[in-house]
């Protein structure tokens, strides 16, 4: 018999597909996974439960951020107003070039805590400084899908093999589906790397069963560049080189055409939809309803905070259906339940996790509590719609990851946030001045 370590009892549970369960509770095992969910009256008798915590409020799965570069918190807002290409080369890369592993650790701790306080329990990170990233989330309590980056500028003589060896080692060291860290491979993009380089990385990812995370069709200029260089779209290029044969997460997809979408759908690939970053950099608006109609799985992402400029996925949750409705002039283009799917189970599937984003037996107890006593949740008749269109991260009061309470009454239980903020102020200023 599974031991029930703790029971969280809310006013309402929010389950997959937008199902609301009044008087609902979540039973959590000693292993941090959910044992049972449902109306408290239908669960095991209290004497079989280690502790019963009547937390009230709305209990729902933690949100999943499908595309981020979180240590970029240290360069937050840098280069505002520049287009992607010059923003990267003139504002971001020169600053990041001075970043140390310790900087990345503090930047990751800051961003990870920012996300946890907002109820975002998992993030998929394309970055470097891998040991520092893992150490940071071990301290904050967050869940990390770490996809170490591969960029052409860091390859000796264009040789991708040494980095593939490193990726392999990182995968062996840190990939742990029974813990809080999993590992994928992240070739930057089909315009930064050659198709042969991306294909080599993809083959190795496929060999070990790792997620392949890549930027795809973010800007119109990038699309034109790849078309001119290769005579086909970036997606076709990836398909022709066998890259789509594994598990693929493509970030952005703003300029994907119908054929590209078909290729991604047939391959079972996912798109990380990052509408705020795409708007802030003037890249465009991804046709996310078309993706879904074509059968492409979609998860929401913030992207890095230099192009957002925060990690509050609730902003994407509200903006995604608004953009979909406004751009299609159709108020039925995306409803509240479909939107929440993109931030939970859709994003979880996109980042290669099948046991987060959903309150169900066997899933990780990554649970967040929303304070329903706030004005935005009255009258509470259309509660699901309130959550998506009236709610926000400021209503998240408590957060559990694998059953461990990492945020209590809007405070991190894991880190001294004042210290983290102070460290990041000092380090961020140093990077800006070194530029």
Per the CB < 8 A criterion, the answer to whether 270 and 248 are in contact is yes
Shortest Cβ distance from residue 111 to Zn ion (Å)?
A: 14
Question: Residues 89-128: x/- map of binding to Zn ion (CB under 5 A)?
Answer: ----------------------------------------
Shortest Cβ distance from residue 93 to Zn ion (Å)?
A: 13
Per the CB < 8 A criterion, the answer to whether 388 and 318 are in contact is yes
Total Cβ atoms within 10 A of residue 209: 12
Shortest Cβ distance from residue 358 to Zn ion (Å)?
A: 25
Question: Which range, of 146-154, 257-265, 295-303, 343-351, touches Zn ion by CB under 5 A?
Answer: 295-303
Smaller CB distance to Zn ion: residue 216 or 402? Answer: 216
Per the CB < 8 A criterion, the answer to whether 34 and 359 are in contact is yes
Binding residue count for Zn ion, defined by CB under 5 A: 1
* Both tokens assigned to 404: 């461990």
Q: Which residues pair with 404 in a beta bridge?
A: 401
Question: Which range, of 3-11, 297-305, 330-338, 372-380, touches Zn ion by CB under 5 A?
Answer: 297-305
Smaller CB distance to Zn ion: residue 260 or 303? Answer: 303
Strands 297-300 and 270-273, sheet pairing: parallel
Which positions from 300 through 319 interact with Zn ion, judged by CB under 5 A?
303
Shortest Cβ distance from residue 69 to Zn ion (Å)?
A: 6
Dist CA 222 CA 219 (whole Å)? 5
Smaller CB distance to Zn ion: residue 212 or 333? Answer: 212
Helix and strand tally (H, E) in the chain?
Answer: 16, 20
Q: Please give the C-alpha separations between residue 295 and each of 43, 86, 340, in angstroms, as whole numbers.
A: 37, 34, 17
Question: Which range, of 52-60, 299-307, 342-350, 359-367, touches Zn ion by CB under 5 A?
Answer: 299-307
Shortest Cβ distance from residue 251 to Zn ion (Å)?
A: 5
Shortest Cβ distance from residue 317 to Zn ion (Å)?
A: 19
Please give the angle made by the CA atoms of 306, 307 and 313, to the nearest 5 degrees: 105
Question: Which range, of 26-34, 222-230, 298-306, 360-368, touches Zn ion by CB under 5 A?
Answer: 298-306
Tell me if 192 contacts Zn ion by CB under 5 A. Answer: no
CA 374 distance to own-chain centroid: 27
Shortest Cβ distance from residue 279 to Zn ion (Å)?
A: 14
Smaller CB distance to Zn ion: residue 217 or 303? Answer: 303
Smaller CB distance to Zn ion: residue 6 or 278? Answer: 278
Dist CA 128 CA 148 (whole Å)? 5
Contacting residues for 425 by C-beta, under 8 A, at least 6 apart: none
Smaller CB distance to Zn ion: residue 303 or 316? Answer: 303
Q: Please give the C-alpha separations between residue 341 and each of 61, 298, 334, in angstroms, as whole numbers.
A: 10, 9, 11
Smaller CB distance to Zn ion: residue 87 or 106? Answer: 87
Shortest Cβ distance from residue 400 to Zn ion (Å)?
A: 28
Strands 4-9 and 12-14, sheet pairing: unpaired
Smaller CB distance to Zn ion: residue 55 or 306? Answer: 306
Phi, psi of 305 (to 5 degrees): -80, -5
The residue number whose beta carbon is nearest to Zn ion equals: 303
Binding site for Zn ion (CB under 5 A): 303
């Amino acid at each position: 018999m599974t031991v029930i370590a703790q029971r969280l009892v809310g006013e309402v549970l929010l389950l997959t597909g937008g199902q609301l369960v009044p008087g609902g509770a979540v039973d959590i095992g000693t292993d941090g996974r959910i044992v049972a969910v449902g109306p408290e009256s239908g669960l095991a008798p209290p004497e079989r439960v280690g502790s019963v915590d009547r937390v009230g409020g709305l209990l729902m799965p933690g949100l999943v951020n499908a595309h981020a570069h979180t240590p970029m918190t240290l360069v937050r807002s840098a280069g505002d107003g520049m287009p992607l290409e010059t923003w990267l080369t003139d504002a971001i890369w020169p600053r990041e070039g001075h970043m140390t592993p310790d900087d990345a650790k503090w930047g990751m701790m800051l961003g990870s805590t920012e996300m946890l306080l907002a109820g975002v329990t998992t993030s998929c990170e394309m970055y470097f400084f891998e040991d520092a990233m893992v150490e940071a989330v071990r301290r904050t309590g967050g869940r990390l899908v770490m996809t170490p980056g591969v960029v052409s500028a860091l390859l000796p003589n264009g040789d991708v093999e040494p980095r593939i060896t490193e990726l392999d080692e990182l995968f062996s060291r840190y990939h742990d589906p029974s813990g809080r860290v999993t590992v994928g491979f992240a070739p930057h993009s089909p315009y930064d790397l050659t198709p042969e380089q991306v294909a080599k990385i993809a083959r190795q990812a496929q060999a070990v069963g790792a997620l392949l995370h890549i930027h795809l069709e973010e800007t119109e200029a990038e699309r034109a560049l790849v078309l001119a260089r290769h005579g086909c779209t970036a997606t076709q290029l990836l398909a022709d080189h066998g890259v789509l044969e594994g598990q693929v997460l493509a970030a952005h997809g703003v300029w994907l055409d119908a054929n590209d979408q078909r290729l991604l759908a047939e391959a079972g690939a996912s798109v990380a939809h990052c509408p705020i970053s795409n708007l802030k950099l003037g890249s465009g608006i991804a046709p996310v309803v078309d993706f879904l109609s074509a059968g492409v799985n979609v998860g929401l992402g913030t992207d890095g905070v230099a192009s957002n400029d925060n990690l509050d996925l609730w902003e994407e949750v509200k903006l995604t259906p608004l953009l979909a409705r406004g751009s299609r002039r159709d108020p039925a283009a995306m409803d509240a339940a479909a939107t929440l799917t993109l931030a939970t189970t859709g994003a979880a599937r996109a980042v290669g996790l099948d046991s987060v984003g959903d309150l169900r037996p066997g899933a990780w107890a990554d649970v967040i509590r929303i304070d329903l006593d706030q004005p935005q949740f009255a009258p509470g008749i259309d509660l699901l719609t309130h959550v998506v269109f009236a709610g926000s991260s400021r209503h998240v009061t408590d957060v559990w990851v694998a059953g461990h309470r990492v945020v209590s009454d809007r405070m991190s239980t894991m880190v001294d946030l004042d210290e983290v903020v102070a460290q990041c102020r000092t380090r961020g200023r140093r990077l800006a001045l070194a530029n």
